[in-house]
Chains A and B, each alone.
Chain A
Amino acid sequence: MKIFFTLLLSLWLSVEAVADEQEISRLLLSEIMYYRMQDNNFDAITHYLNANENNALSLNKNNNTYIASVYLNYDLHSQVSSMLDYLITNESAAVRDMSWFYLGKLHYRNKRIKSAIKAFSRIEGTLADTEQEMKHIMYGVMAMNDKKYDVASKEFINVSATSPLYPYVEYNLALARVKKDNDLVSFSKTLNELATKYANKTEESYVFADRIYTTLGFVLLQNKQYEQARQVFRKVTLDGHLVTRALQGMIYATAQMQQYEQALNLSLQLIKMTIGNESVHHAYIVIPYLLQKLNDSEKATAFYQHAVEYFDSQRISIKKHIDKTKKGEFDSYLLDLEKILNVDDWVGDKEMGRLFRFVSTLDEWRDAVYKYREMQYLEKRLDESFYQLVVIESEVQAENQSAYKKSFDKIAGSKKQVHNSLLWHQKYARRFVIKGLQDQYDDVTDYLGQARFALAQFYDREEQRLQQLELSRLSEENAKKNIDKKKALNNKVVEEKQ
């Protein structure tokens, strides 16, 4: 009897609600959300497709916007247009505007600038504060890239001081104004204020302040305010990535102030810091020049020769890496975002790490690697589907036989296409890396030419100097001979008179 009552009570408790179709729809939508919130757009979409095919999902304004955002996040913007059409014809202006905003943002993120502008231009009303500010920043950056500094300034002004991106907006605003008005004095004043405002707060603001100090230093150099420039460059943090650039600026300022010995010491410090860096290349040309200024011809000659050897070895090394990249020998590194971003950790090959450091800054490369990995993921999912089919083989009933066989064909067809696309992106990524290396090769070749030319000029000058010395020695000897002859003649005349 006790067991019966327990059973009855449990049954009563369990039947809390037998839900209707709406509840199934809500559950399926929350399952889509579960994947979307983990940024797993692939599974979010397959679950959506499945639910939609079974007519189990009732789509309303919110659901439709949500599904559209999943497609957008998976960069399937072509699929979103029909959903947006639905929103445009059926939903409020606010929903419509948000849809255009997200579409525009996606295009902007993928550098489809024309499409981004087109989508943003469809926004009719005012967006929520955060979105509105993001829109101004994106428009501002696009205008800067387009050299429309006036437009960029107008956009940046609209960003509120409370925005977390405000420091960068202020910096870009100052940059847009100086590009437009060329007013270096007010630009340097603004930069000084910004650096004081943001320096020494967080690690991020240190990086930001370094950038401002370096820019300000070069603006002051342009204004021929050498001592002020030197003071500003000194503020750049020693372990920051702009330290070599700041040191280069300091060397230039110091040399302009004719403090050659100090400039030489700074240059020698710079070349010890690293190799293969633009500022270091420059120092290799500057050092012998400074030695000449200090009248140390012997050391100047030796250093010119050293510079020529340095640039020559750089060229050989870059060429070797270009050839290996072309052969695909570095693909395991170059197609791995984590590895390339921690390029300093590349085991045993510092030279390679140094040469490839530029890669992480290439947007096109990043994009290609992202797509490559996306295709790798699709390959993996198709393989999983293949094995799922193999597992259920013995259980397939006659009514499912045709669908079962078709699935294998579809997997094979898709795998072929995915693999072709994967190879395309691999080749595309490699192409940008080779181009970057080729640029480095060309730069070093330029420096090598400069070093050889400077060395040749130096030899010419030395030869001329020696010739002049020789001439003056000869003329001194002649003069002495003349004096001697004159003396001998005088003596002869005296003797003859006697």
Chain B
Amino acid sequence: MTGFITQIIVILIMSVLQAGSALANEKEQQTIIDQKIKLETLSVVKDVAQLVEDVAYPEVSRLKIYVSHGVGKYFSLNKATVILDGVDKASVEYKPVQQQALLRGGSHRVYIASASAGIHELVVVFEGSDRDGNIIKNARTWLIDKKSGEMIIKLMVEDNDSTIRPDFKMTIVKGGE
């Protein structure tokens, strides 16, 4: 009788252990599936973004504008507004987490559009605060000569130690003059 009970207990313990290991295996399998799903989704979203960019903003006329930031000793960017040929095109407000990402070396694409070849007036209004917390609004104007093909512009907020103020610079990374 005792042997029979021991046998039942052993069977019960074994089934519990097997259930535990089955659960772990099931989870391990799902982890592999999840990784595959994530990669596929990333790939689909990337493909669609690329397709949308190609269709909506063909390379021949594409204009991209990025914003970068220096260490931010004298200025912290809260908002950037892009005005192209006198028309408000984009306005981006930066939350603290995004400000930090810019200050730590990140660049953000503030604007993408189709623009014809030729000279355009680009006005960017930089709004932010200085190191004393005072609100500063600074508008800068550039004339850009867009050629045929993609044009990439980088706007840079830099610290100027000699004036103890920020400098707002523009660099053409690709296309145009």
Interface residues of A (CB under 8 A from B): 7, 10-11, 13-19, 23-24, 27, 30-31, 33-38, 42, 45-46, 49-50, 53, 74-79, 371, 374-375, 378, 381-382, 384-385, 388-389, 391-392, 395-397, 400, 403-404, 407, 410-411, 413-414, 417-418, 421, 424-425, 428
Contacts and interface: CB of A to CB of B under 8 A. Distances in A.
Given A16-B169, A19-B171, A24-B152, A407 B48 contact: yes
B interface secondary structure, majority: helix
Given A16-B171, A395-B55, A418 B41 contact: yes
Interface string B15-37: 00000000000010010111101
Given A33-B104, A34-B106, A46 B172 contact: no
Given A23-B173, A27-B154, A395-B56, A74 B45 contact: no
Contact of A381 (B41, B47, B68, B177): B41
Interface string B129-171: 0000000000001111100000010100000000000000111
B66 interface: yes
Contacts, number: 162
B174 interface: yes
A400 B172 contact: no
A18 B153 CA distance: 10
Given A14-B143, A30-B107, A78-B35, A400 B44 contact: no
A18 B104 contact: no
Give the contact-size bracket for chain B.
Answer: 35 or more
Nearest to A74: B38
Contact of B40 (A36, A74, A385, A417): A417
A191 to B, nearest CB: 34
Interface stretch (B3-11, B71-79, B83-91, B94-102): B94-102
A392 B53 CA distance: 10
Contacts of A35: 101, 106
A389 B48 contact: yes
Contacts of B169: 16
Contacts of B176: 18
Contacts of A424: 30
Given A7-B143, A27-B107, A385-B44, A46 B49 contact: yes
A407 B176 CA distance: 33
Contacts of B143: 7, 10-11, 14
Contacts of A381: 41, 45
Contact of A385 (B30, B45, B66, B106): B45
B37 A421 contact: yes
Given A14-B143, A38-B97, A50-B46, A371 B34 contact: yes
A19 B172 contact: yes
Contact of A418 (B37, B52, B68, B154): B37
A interface secondary structure, majority: helix
B37 A417 contact: yes
A414 B41 contact: yes
A38 B98 contact: yes
B51 A10 contact: no
A19 B177 CA distance: 11
Interface string B96-133: 01101110111111000000000000000000000000
Contacts of A421: 30, 33-34, 37
B28 to A, nearest CB: 9
A382 B66 contact: no
- What are the nearest 10 A-B pairs in CB distance? A34-B106, A37-B101, A30-B107, A385-B48, A46-B46, A33-B106, A14-B142, A10-B143, A49-B46, A378-B41
B1 interface: no
Contacts of A428: 27, 30
A391 to B, nearest CB: 8
A18 B152 CA distance: 10
Contacts of B42: 42, 45-46, 49
Contacts of A79: 35, 39
Contacts of B173: 19, 23-24, 27
Given A16-B171, A395-B55, A404-B51, A34 B35 contact: no
Contacts of A395: 55-56
